[in-house]
Amino acid sequence: MTPTTLLRSLAAWLILLTSATVSIAFDGKAAAAPAVSGVSAPDPIDPPSTETVNSAINRGISFLLEDQNNNGSWGSATRTKDLNIYAPVPGAHQAFRAAVTSMCVSTLYEVGGDREDVRQSLDRAEAYLFERLPEVRRATGIAMYNVWTHCYAIQALVRMKAHQPEDQNRQQQIDQLVAQQFDMLKRYASIDGGWGYYDFRYQTKQPSSSSLSFVNAAVLVALYEAKQAGYEPPQKMIDKAIAATLRQRLPDFSYLYGEYLKWKPRAGINRPGGSLGRSQACNIALRLWGDKAVTEDILTNWLDRLIVRNGWLDIGRKRPIPHEAWFQVAGYFYYFGHYYATWCIHELPADQQPLYQHHIARIILDRQEKDGSWWDYPLYDYHQPYGTAFALMTLVRCQ
């Protein structure tokens, strides 16, 4: 055995030893204790005016329309820095671009799909997705950014399906693409259930790495939307993803960053401050799929925490190195966390929603850039369109 082979073998064993399966909560019942104590509800504030919100939305739409590539997509690999994340060409960037384009399609349908200029933009973006989605795969044995593509493509396709029902050829294309996304998610699911976007273990045909809680959550929300639209995602795949997410839930409804960190449940990244951008997504995903442990009190508790302790997330925003902020927070959780928080808001009784809508809207409005975009983590040239997409869908849910 050569020295290089020996080192690789030792590294593989270390990863395996730090990520063997244990159970934190098998069925959600173990998390019956109060989620997090000592977090007060935010004080009521005056809601942003309709004019202010609409103005911000229109500026965001204008940014997306101007930022769209000639081929109908959004994002590229052309804006670089010395601290770029690992993204092997071409597969990683094909996945990033398709995922971000899918997000922008969902956004434009939600915030301006009846405008003529938006409609023209959507036509070009949809043509791009029809052509390119079938080609998206993992970039290498290690890099599986394509799981984001399949996740957000499902949400885009569901919204596309709701429009132009008279066009049967288009409807059939959409159905075929949805089925393909299900197949891809099944193919790239971890052997333990759920999804990650790296396989640092053995790079096997079916990924050998453990899942990441927030990826599971995003995919489960997308699959729920597909089911509500009349599709039938594979139930066994869903059940395994739910079980994997439950194994990563702590008694205070913080969620491990990934199951490989289960031997370090009180590391900063897994504590409430580190989970601040994940808990909303994980809570809503599990609740949508029937987890009774995620009560309204749990949802409000984590909404309170997101607002009152927003600084723990905000201090990581725009930092170029992932996880360099306190509690190992990465910038890319910022708009992700607020978007899924609005899903949680809509699960609350109607009289409880405005308090949180007003606060979340104010947070988003205050962070809009001069060019109308939003962004939280520098990622080649994908960060502005994905940040703007999350922010716009957040704002429209706060109206």
Amino acid at 29: K
Q: For the ranges 78-87, 113-122, 129-138, 353-362, which has the lowest average pLDDT? A: 78-87
**Within 10 A of 54 (CB to CB), how many other CB atoms are there?**
14
pLDDT > 80? residue 119: yes
**pLDDT confidence of residue 37:** 62
Enter the tokens of residue 21: 């399966």
Q: Is the dihedral of CA 321, 7, 92, 96 positive or negative?
A: negative
Q: Which CATH number, 3.40.190.10, 3.30.360.10, 3.30.565.10, 1.50.10.20, labels domain 33-397?
A: 1.50.10.20
Per DSSP, 89 falls in state: T
Chain centroid to CA 66: 24
Residues 6+ apart with CB under 8 A from 253: 31, 35, 36, 279, 283, 294, 298, 301, 302
Cα–Cα distance, 79 to 70 (Å, whole number) = 17
Residues 6+ apart with CB under 8 A from 258: 196, 210, 211, 212, 213, 248
Check if the beta carbon of residue 396 is closer than 8 Å to that of residue 53.
no
pLDDT, tens digit (0-9, with 9 covering 90-100), for 226-265: 999 999 999 999 999 999 999 999 999 999 999 999 999 9
Residues 362-377: what's their mean pLDDT? 98
Give 156-165 pLDDT, tens digit per residue: 999 999 999 9
Grade residue 396 by pLDDT with cuts at 50, 70 and 90. very high
Q: Could you give the C-alpha distances from 20 to 9, 28, 73, 125, 270, in angstroms and in order? A: 16, 20, 40, 42, 17
C-beta neighbour count of 361 within 10 angstroms: 24
How would residue 27 be classed by pLDDT, with cut points 50, 70 and 90? very low
pLDDT value of residue 84: 83
Task: Average the pLDDT over 200-213 and give the result.
Answer: 96
Contact between residue 245 and residue 216 where contact means Cβ atoms under 8 Å apart: yes
Q: How confident is the model at residue 338 (pLDDT cuts 50, 70, 90)?
A: very high
Of 103, 162, 143, 142, the residue nearest 388 (C-alpha) = 103
> What pLDDT, on a 0 to 100 scale, did the predictor assign at position 82?
74
What's the mean pLDDT in 376-397?
97
- Give the C-alpha separation, 97 to 132, whole Å: 10
Residue 15 has pLDDT above 50, yes or no: no
Mean pLDDT, rounded, for 33-41: 66
Residue 13 pLDDT: 36
- Long-range (24+ apart) CB contacts under 8 A made by 7-13 are 12/201, 12/202
Q: Among 124, 143, 133, 232, which residue's Cα sits nearest to residue 182? A: 232
pLDDT confidence bin for 113, thresholds 50/70/90 = confident
Residue 398 pLDDT level (bands cut at 50, 70, 90): very high
pLDDT at 83: 74
Three-state DSSP class for residue 214: helix
What's the CA gap between 351 and 337, in Å, rounded?
Answer: 23
Q: Which of 219, 108, 234, 111 is nearest to 160 (CA)?
A: 108
Q: Following DSSP, what letter does each residue of 242-256 receive, concatenated?
A: HHHHHHTB-TTS-B-
d(CA 204, CA 189): 11
Residue 38 pLDDT class (50, 70, 90 cuts): low
Q: What's the predicted TM-score (pTM) here?
A: 0.91
| Nearest of 241, 262, 260, 254 to residue 337 by alpha carbon | 254
State both tokens at 209.
Answer: 């790495």
Residue 14: pLDDT band with limits 50, 70, 90: very low
Is residue 26 very low, low, confident or very high in pLDDT (cuts 50, 70, 90)?
very low
pLDDT band for position 309 (cuts 50, 70, 90):
very high
Under a CB-based contact definition with an 8 Å cutoff, are residues 193 and 209 in contact? Answer: no
3-state secondary structure of 165: coil
| Per-residue confidence (pLDDT) for residue 253, from 0 to 100 | 98
Distance, CA of 197 to CA of 209 (rounded, Å) = 9
Q: What is the pLDDT of residues 280-302, one digit of tens each?
A: 999 999 999 999 999 999 999 99
